[in-house]
Structure 1
Amino acid sequence: MPKAVGIDLGTTNSVIAVMEGGKPEVIVNAEGGRTTPSVVAYKGEERLVGQIAKRQAALNPKATLYEVKRFIGRRWDEVKEEAARSPFTVKEGPSGSVRIEVNGQDLAPEQVSAEVLRKLVADASAKVGTGIKDVVITVPAYFDNSQREATRQAGEIAGLNVLRVINEPTAAALAYGLERKGNETVLVFDLGGGTFDVTILELGEGVFEVRSTAGDTHLGGADFDHRIVDWLAGEFQKEHNFDLRKDPQALQRLIESAERAKIELSSATETTLSLPFITFDPETRTPLHLERTLSRAKFEELIGDLLKRVREPVQQALRDAKLSPNDINEVILVGGSTRVPSVKRIVKDIVGKEPNESVNPDEAVALGAAVQAGIITGDANLGDIVLVDVTPLTLGVEVKGGMVAPLITRNTTVPAKKTEVFTTAENNQPGVEINVVQGERPMTVDNKSLGRFKLEGIPPMPAGRPQIEVTFDIDANGILHVTAKEKSSGKESSIRIENTTTLDKSEVERMVREAEQNAAADKARREKIEKRNNLDSLRVQALQQIEESQAEQSLKDRVKAVTDEVEGAIAGDDDAQIADVQKRLEEALRELMQAGSGQDQGQGAQAQGKTQPDDVIDADFKPAD
């Protein structure tokens, strides 16, 4: 039976997990790792994803994309700062959206994220032995409607059936509380690579009820890294009058070094950043090197203002839940950036207790998503688990004077539905335009517009007479549907909020087709390479057998003659030639091994060499897909 899985689509790393025997388990990727870097590289016609993409980033900085989660579902004017510090080209797309330029092609962030999802699911399918289509994907609790919709679209582009989009802290709480029976109030502190969330939940008797959530979607470990980058680049510029941030290759090396330094400073009090040949002197062309020692104290100084920003969402979540720090039973740390010692100190200072570190901060979200996938698909071993989540931000409509009329306030339990009646501002007004907004400010201009739609055909009536019912319906994914209806005429209009920053249906369908075509092309290229690698491995084994075998020289010469054909076959583009050479080499090698084995047996106890190779090559044998 096909499995449903949970996916933590992270800014820095992603994880996939599945329910096995009533417990969530992380599925390792093809490289044997439990986490997969959320990195995609475009190299010629190839797409590289994960660790292999990350390894070549310094040599291919303009076409190696990472931290793309920071751009998904966002408007260009929201991400200019992040875009400016990327080695690759991030620019404004249609209708104020975000696009990433690679090799002359403009890519939507959803397309890039789909490549990561496709890699995760392909590797997991190979491990569990069955194709995977059904997924639960997590998002930061403070993601707005368009970011959630864009994440769901990334899953569609990857060819997946997205069962649910759930909040990351809520997923982590599911992983933490799965086997706990008592009643607890838990604060989940989730500081990942690109986003920060705080969620307070009540756990008890199989019910996971979110009380409040708050956060900052512009704060994460990547911001810590870039403070180190700016410090290093500033120090180098003072010494050599050259800004390394203007050189994409040098910038990529700075970012990688900064990330390593941040990780090392979680356990050490100082670290050395050494980058030989970081650039060349523009006048003399002599190589320039960068080496600096960074102490933990200096690092904490560099990120001091970022650490201050951690406090307000925690305090906001407590206020919204109407709780004091003393009411919190456990604090769960989620996200790799919670390993930074100063972050742990701040959490302890605010809540007044040591954080609970019983869950793996890198894996808890994916494990919880797997639990949610099990709940949706009716996993018999889960019992009666109920997840009650909330919407992170207030949803409303614009009214006269540019004000916002809220319909669903933040921290309302989802799914939720609310109807309010509005009217016209002018006599005989034939229609109204409804601007759906999200945010906490009283004026529309200070919030985010999620989309607009028109209700037309209102009968001529004096201002204030028409009764226009506006209904907000937010589903379990946190995605909004809005309907407007004029009561006397029955005229109705609706919109499924797909912000202009997300993709319309035709674009998603096109990207799905492109992704499928690219997947087929990538598979064909991989198979082509594997055939050549297998043939070359066979050649090496044959040469070794020629050296070791006691068979007649004429037979060894015949095998050697076939090995001499291998190099030409590998260099060519003829798969039929590859197959022919491999078949003849396998047959000749088998004959050589049998002849050598027979001669060894005739020599009795005097023969001390191998009578059989370590790997028996058979014409019907091939590596597993």
Structure 2
Amino acid sequence: MAKIPINLSTGTIEQNSEIIVGIDLGTTNSLVAYIKDGKAVAVKDENGKRTLVPSVIHFGPDEVIVGDPARKKLITHPEKTIYSVKRLMGKSYKDVNSFENYLSYKIIDEDQDALVKIQVDEKFYSPIELSAEILKALKKRIETRLNKSIQKAVITVPAYFNDTQRQATRDAGKLAGLDVLRIINEPTAASLAYGIGLDQNEDRKIVVYDLGGGTFDVSILQIQQGIFEVLSTNGDTFLGGDDFDKKIIDYWIEDRQVDRVKFKENKSYRQRVRLSAEEAKKILSSAELYKADDLSISLSKFNELIKPLIDRTIEACEIALKDSNLKKEEISNVIMVGGSTRVPLIKSSVSSFFDQQVNDKIDPDEVVALGAAIQGDILAGNQKGMLLLDVTPLSLGIETVGGLMDVIIPRNNKVPARVGRNYTTSVDGQKNLKVSVYQGERDMVSDNRKLGEFILSGIPPMPAGIPKIEIQFILDADGILVVKASELRSGISQNIEIRSQYGLSEEEMGKMLLDSFKHAEEDLAKRALLEARNEANNVILSSKKFIDHNKTLLTKEETATLIEMTKDLEMAAKSEDKDAINHKMETLNNYSRPLAERALDHAISDALKGKEL
């Protein structure tokens, strides 16, 4: 077996290892960068012009295309062309349903709490699979440029991304054939790009104002002796340049420059208008008027429309500053990140709030990817004097329904670490919960290494889904892992202690890691099938309860149809076809939704009988 140039017992990279690239996986555009002759550079397209790869995926009859060629399909094939995937990462349907009307592709709303799925024809995709396509395109771009294979990467995420979103980003990297050595915060990457944090004697407090296509966040960092600490962060996962475009579209509809009905019903027309609004926003960064294709808007009108959105970002800056316990005069730099910060009103508003000129000397589209490349160079051991903290050599997690591995502390996470995640029961009246702890990189626990298990007993009997069970992983600097389970409503708890390094040699760790990449696609397919089955079983149970509880409200035809559709879903759930399960689930949900609404109206009407409002 070939020796991997990772020191898996410490998480550090051996000298003379291959290039570790930096990737900014963005909502609107993505980039890949690397260190060339000691300087971070973003990789351009084959024509040597653009560094940006539009985060757009198109599913053609024979191939999946990404970037500029896919972007051209937004108008001609809108229902098969996916964009703004980052907004969907680690999200459930209820998190994104308000945004759905502005998408041209289909989001599935089978379960308000289940992670969102995107439907293209008869196939269903997760945001992880879609993001992996973008990462594959970036990997191919840099491999073509350097004429060598690239395996290792640092990928950036917004500072506010939660564990689920970070793990989804890691999974997307793995599926693209990348060993994701670090998930780092975008503001940290931006700081590194400006050289802040490279000097060990430096002590600075900085603001990173990051307004991209779909997300906004402001972070206040303290950098001391090369260590980055996020003092505070604030923002909005649903505020960005896309929302500026939406303001322009809404204005054009109100002003009757855009046909409201046609915009709602014709996907190609909707995309054409959306792209015109995006163009208008860009033109108005350096002009007083946009006019094209019978559509027009002035800079003053644009500023008037977006001012409430900019005010929201300034309010977030105010909260972040207050939370950091700093005064404006203590801030040494205000760094601007994201293409949307090119809007003049944003620059002037942020400058005015912080009482200093903003720093946007480095291309705001490229700054995060460049910083990620610098972080990769640090991990490669090429930046002397930079502190590289100890990290977990392999992921740690627990077994969930169907034998799936749910990662709680991912590989390469800094040590010490304390991470908690909430779970619930899957059976009515469940009194005991077995917590099985595993180490490894595969999606099925059967392919990972079991470290131990314990029983959380004495859970008060409640309906499935009601108990609130928190699982905490506490990993100290010596590698001792304590796993604690608590039922938060009753206060009962149990824990287990697992000793350092868990008896694995470096070679065994290396083999586990290599296996995870070799089987990444197969593992994701297994996980998707099991998750579809688990979700289907919940829907089947709910459907049977609904039929039983509403016999008097349903007609014979409705009852017969529901029973038949439920049986169809039961049959599909036994198959190996994830898309067939999702399709039958969608069919049943679409049919039962109006019936459930009718039953709810009836229940409310019954409850209010004889009462005055």
Normalised by the size of structure 1, how large is the TM-score? 0.62
Any residues of structure 2 matched to 1:201-216 within 5 Å, and which? 201-216=221-236
Between the aligned partners of 2:319 and 2:457, the Cα distance in structure 1 is 43
- Counterpart in 1 of 2:347? 344
Aligned amino acid, residue 139 of structure 1: V
2:207 paired with 1:165: no
Query: Contact 2:485–2:494 at 8 Å: present in 1 too?
Result: no
Is 1:320 the counterpart of 2:285? The answer is: no
One-letter code aligned to 2:83: Y
Amino acid at match of 2:127: P
| Contact 2:484 2:493 (C-alpha < 8 Å) held by counterparts | no
Cα drift, residue 485 of structure 1: 8.3
Shift of the 469–222 alpha-carbon distance from structure 1 to 2, 3 Å rule, reads closer
Q: Distance in 2 between matches of 1:481 and 1:170?
A: 30
Alpha-carbon shift at residue 4 of structure 1 (Å): 0.9
1:223 equivalenced with 2:243 (yes/no):
yes
Q: Deviations over 1:410-468 (max 9, x none)?
A: xxx98533899xxxxxxxx954799xxxxxxxxxxxxxxxxxxx96354899xxxxxx9
Question: Equivalent residue for 1:456?
Answer: 455
CA shift for structure 1 position 246: 2.1
Cα distance between partner residues in 1 of 2:81 and 2:484: 42
Contact 1:208 1:387 in 2 (8 A): no
Shift of the 324–260 alpha-carbon distance from structure 1 to 2, 3 Å rule, reads: same
Instruction: Name stretches of at least 5 consecutive residues in structure 1 with no aligned partner.
Output: 275-290, 389-412, 421-428, 435-453, 462-467, 495-503, 515-625
For 2:281, the aligned partner's letter is: K
Report the aligned-residue RMSD.
Answer: 3.7
Compute the displacement of 1:24 (Å).
Answer: 1.5
| 2:609 corresponds to | none
Match of 1:416 in 2: 417
Q: Determine if the alignment matches structure 1 residue 14 to structure 2 residue 30.
A: yes
Distance 1:415 1:67, change over 3 A: farther
Deviations 1:232-289 (A, max 9, x none): 2333378x67342321000000111111100111111111131xxxxxxxxxxxxxxx
Structure 2, unmatched stretches of 5+, are: 1-16, 390-413, 422-429, 436-452, 461-468, 499-515, 527-613
Aligned residues: 427
CA drift of 1:148 comes to 1.1
* Partner amino acid, structure 1, of 2:64: R
Q: Cα deviation per residue 1:488-542 (whole Å; 9 max; x = unaligned)?
A: 9976499xxxxxxxxx99996437679xxxxxxxxxxxxxxxxxxxxxxxxxxxx
Aligned CA distance change for structure 1 residues 130 and 236 (closer, same or farther; 3 Å): same
Normalised to the residue count of structure 2, the TM-score between the two structures is 0.63
C-alpha displacement of 1:311? 1.8
2:262 counterpart of 1:267: no
1:210 is aligned with what amino acid? V
2:401 paired residue number: none
Describe the SS at the equivalent of 1:342: helix
**CA–CA distance in 2 between the matches of 1:266 and 1:228?**
14
| Matches of 1:485 and 1:73, distance apart in 2 | 24
Q: Distance in 2 between matches of 1:10 and 1:431?
A: 43
Change (3 A) 1:460 1:260: closer
Query: Is the 2:56–2:71 contact (alpha carbons within 8 Å) kept by the matching residues of 1?
Result: yes
Aligned residue identity for 2:248? I
Deviation at 1:472, TM superposition (A): 4.0
Amino acid across the alignment from 1:206? G
Give the secondary-structure state (helix, strand or coil) at the position aligned to 1:166: strand
Aligned partner of 1:195 among 190, 207, 215: 215
User: Residue in 2 aligned with 1:334?
Assistant: 337
User: What is the aligned counterpart of 1:155 among 170, 173, 188?
Assistant: 173
**Partner amino acid for 1:152?**
R
Q: Distance in 2 between matches of 1:337 and 1:229?
A: 17
Q: Percent identity between the aligned chains?
A: 39
Query: Superposition pairs for residues 269-284 of structure 1, below 5 Å?
Result: 269-274=288-293
Contact (CA 8 Å) 1:29, 1:123: kept in 2 or not? yes
8 Å contact from structure 1 (residues 484, 492) kept in 2: no
* Whole-Å separation in 2 of the counterparts to 1:266 and 1:365: 21
Post-superposition offset of 1:20: 2.4
Q: 1:41 and 2:58 equivalent?
A: yes
Aligned to 2:566: none
Counterpart of 2:273, as a letter, is L
1:101 aligned to 2:102?
Answer: no
1:384-432 deviation digits (Å, cap 9, x = unpaired) = 22489xxxxxxxxxxxxxxxxxxxxxxxx98533899xxxxxxxx9547
Q: Distance in 2 between matches of 1:132 and 1:506?
A: 15
Q: Residues 378 and 226 of structure 1: is their aligned pair in 2 closer, same or farther, counting only changes over 3 Å?
A: same
